[in-house]
């Protein structure tokens, strides 16, 4: 039996199949990102209206929760399918993500989401003294840019593994 037991497909067929797989993967990732953001916003607004956050979040601060929900749901919806794809697909340059590494990355994502939620609730407190529009602008900058220092920390210091060589 020879080393090549499968018949070779042409380069055009391989690239077409790869492009279709990439497009389907991209559609799944974008759909989960958008749906995750909508779901988190709906859950947070419901929590601010009737649940435990109703006495903590003023009416003028609810947009801060919307912005935090977009951040939480978007990152979760983006990272979960990417992580699952990484556990299935691998190559010599980028090996598959193992279960232990995936667990660490999910815990890091959970910690980031908790950080964003707490920050959104803290920024929502500005709604007690400032109008809704100003609170929304402050929330966009506070929640939107607060993760920048965290993103600048090397992954090795957070225990998330080493970067791939370029």
The three-state secondary structure class of 105 is helix
Dist. CA 56–CA 62, nearest whole Å: 10
Give the residue-averaged pLDDT of 25-47: 84
The three-state secondary structure class of 5 is coil
**Long-range contacts at 76-83 (CB < 8 A, ≥ 24 apart):** 76/36, 76/40, 76/109, 76/113, 77/32, 77/33, 77/34, 77/35, 77/36, 77/37, 78/29, 78/32, 78/33, 78/36, 79/105, 79/109, 80/32, 80/36, 81/25, 81/28, 81/29, 81/32, 82/29
pTM: 0.70
Q: What is the pLDDT of residues 47-84, one digit of tens each?
A: 777 766 677 778 888 888 888 888 888 888 888 888 88
Dist. CA 106–CA 102, nearest whole Å: 6
How many Å separate Cα 121 from the centre of its chain? 19
Q: Give percent above pLDDT 90 in the chain.
A: 1
Q: What is the pLDDT of residues 147-162, one digit of tens each?
A: 777 777 776 766 666 5
146: DSSP letter = T
């Amino acid at each position: 039996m020879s080393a090549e037991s499968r018949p070779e497909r042409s380069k055009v067929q391989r690239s077409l199949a790869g492009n279709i797989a990439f497009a389907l993967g991209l559609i799944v990732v974008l759909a989960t990102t958008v749906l995750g953001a909508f779901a988190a916003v709906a859950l947070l607004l419901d929590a601010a209206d009737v649940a435990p956050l109703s006495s903590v979040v003023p009416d003028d601060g609810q947009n801060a929760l919307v912005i935090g929900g977009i951040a939480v749901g978007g990152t979760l919806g983006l990272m979960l399918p990417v992580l699952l794809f990484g556990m299935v697909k691998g190559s010599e340059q980028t090996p598959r993500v193992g279960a232990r590494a995936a667990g660490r990355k999910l815990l890091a994502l959970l910690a980031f989401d908790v950080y964003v939620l707490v920050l959104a609730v803290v920024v929502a407190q500005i709604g007690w003294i400032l109008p809704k529009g100003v609170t929304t602008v402050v929330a966009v900058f506070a929640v939107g840019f607060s993760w920048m220092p965290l993103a600048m920390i090397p992954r090795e210091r957070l225990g998330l593994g080493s970067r791939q060589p370029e």
